[in-house]
A and B are shown apart, each in its own frame.
Chain A
């Protein structure tokens, strides 16, 4: 049986400051090496100052993934030399003196399958390396430490996956959960990364590191299974090793890491006492925890009678579900859901589009209400939506400027209908024997009004004028 396990690293991008200092957690907006201080640069004499909210957010993740959460957490040093690590050790967590990492054993469901979580740990992200120079002779490494110290949560799973598809489904669900918790924005470049370990029946465990994206992770796992099966079929032993993903060639390559690099000499970080998280605080976190995706989905179905598939997409994306929550009322909920899933999703499907759009939940609410009250037709509402996304203007302005408002003035509409009746005498006659034909006449009125006629009113006047 193929066994795949994952180590997912997720930056807590929604925090203000780094894990051990007051530099900014979201380093992306800075010039090179401008988001650094003596602490995250590990300067002589500096000491780590643990971020309270980082511990809380990490605990929240542990709770959301049904993990045990200990009363005390401890930090350890992982010792290794690398230029992206300013102290040449990483402050991380381990469970060598009891369960002292932020999360213990837990699980989440992926479809009908339970994926077990081994543990969750809070740790610091290293800096970033850029390699410069072409020939190996003049090559040097450039380091940007802006990222160093960014709070990172590592989620370790048991080897419960059997196929690359299960891995992908799990990662999708996990990203949605983390986004829904409001602790991280998985759509930010580099905010979520993962390593995998893969073993096939009768083979040893192989670790794959350096996978840049979730998309590549699925490919890397797939490649690795194929590679191992091919070795196995030729009776070649699969050795326990670490391989890295070659992004260019889309293959895994054996890492020639030396044996001596593997001894991390873990020991307790004396600069950070053990942190007690008393039951009261854990209870408070549990209460403040945002509603889960599953619970949202069920509520949308049962309370608003929203179709299951619509509720599914709506609840799993935090951006859309936040919009829904803010915009909906008892009466317009279905319409709001409808606008989001049929129109909006096609227009703001990427992080960039969401960032540039000037769309707010108020627009959404007004639009849904206007459709329901007949102020705009569903047809015109699409044009209005496009314009709002572009300009951010409010709905009534957009309706006036684009002349999208429904013709709901009875005398104006009567005039147009009289004209249609005179032009379509044959159809009018037919209506008397075949009532369905009236829809044809409604369509004609719509044509004349460019879709802006209030459909209910149109029908009423038509019936009155024809006398059916």
Chain B
């Protein structure tokens, strides 16, 4: 069973501040609790598969610049850098 501390820890990991206990702790607990049903699926020996494509289907190595000056459509600083908050050292 997932604990309240684990939920608070994960929300920090996900960079989300939560305050409403009922909304975020109780509901999340019951949702994760529901997933316990997976334990009885008996799938331990199952292999995990993914779609496959041959290397020849991949993009050719060509330089094609983007048609617009993208930085102008983003948050920017004097038209050049993107600004981010300071980093903790």
In the complex they form, whether A and B have CB atoms below 8 Å apart is answered with yes
Question: Who on chain A is nearest to B72 by CB?
Answer: A33
Question: Does A277 lie within 8 Å of B55, measured CB to CB?
Answer: yes
> Smallest Cβ distance from B50 to chain A, in angstroms?
5
Question: Does A54 lie within 8 Å of B61, measured CB to CB?
Answer: yes
Question: Does B61 lie within 8 Å of A36, measured CB to CB?
Answer: no
Known: A17-B64, A36-B70, A74-B50. A52 touches B55 (CB 8 A): yes
Whether A140 is near chain B, meaning CB under 8 Å from some CB there, is: yes
Question: Who on chain A is nearest to B52 by CB?
Answer: A274
A324-354 with Cβ < 8 A to chain B: none
A278 partner residues in chain B, CB cutoff 8 A: 54-55
Whether B56 is near chain A, meaning CB under 8 Å from some CB there, is: yes
Question: Does A139 lie within 8 Å of B55, measured CB to CB?
Answer: no
Whether A300 is near chain B, meaning CB under 8 Å from some CB there, is: no
How many Å lie between the Cα of A294 and that of B80 in the bound state? 47
What mask results when residues 52 to 88 of chain B are scored 1 for a CB within 8 Å of chain A, else 0? 1111101111111110011100101100111111110
What mask results when residues 189 to 212 of chain A are scored 1 for a CB within 8 Å of chain B, else 0? 000000000000000000000000
Q: What range describes how many residues of B lie at the interface?
A: 35 or more
Number of interface residues of A (CB under 8 A): 52
A81-119 with Cβ < 8 A to chain B: 81, 83, 97
A248-280 with Cβ < 8 A to chain B: 256, 260, 263, 268, 273-278
B37 partner residues in chain A, CB cutoff 8 A: none
How many Å lie between the Cα of A24 and that of B56 in the bound state? 21
Question: Does A275 lie within 8 Å of B59, measured CB to CB?
Answer: no
Whether B27 is near chain A, meaning CB under 8 Å from some CB there, is: no
B86 partner residues in chain A, CB cutoff 8 A: 131, 133, 136, 139-141
A25 partner residues in chain B, CB cutoff 8 A: 63
Binds A, one of B8-16, B18-26, B28-36, B38-46: B8-16
A-B contact list, 23 entries, CB within 8 Å: A16-B61, A17-B63, A22-B64, A23-B65, A31-B80, A37-B65, A38-B70, A51-B59, A52-B60, A53-B61, A83-B85, A129-B87, A130-B81, A140-B83, A142-B83, A144-B81, A260-B13, A273-B52, A274-B53, A275-B55, A275-B58, A276-B52, A277-B55
Q: A38-B70, A139-B86, A143-B82 are in contact. List 10 more A-B contacts (CB 8 A).
A: A16-B61, A23-B63, A23-B66, A33-B80, A97-B48, A140-B86, A142-B84, A274-B51, A274-B52, A275-B55
User: Which A positions have Cβ atoms within 8 angstroms of B?
Assistant: 15-17, 22-25, 31-38, 41, 49-56, 72, 74, 81, 83, 97, 129-131, 133, 136, 139-145, 256, 260, 263, 268, 273-278, 281
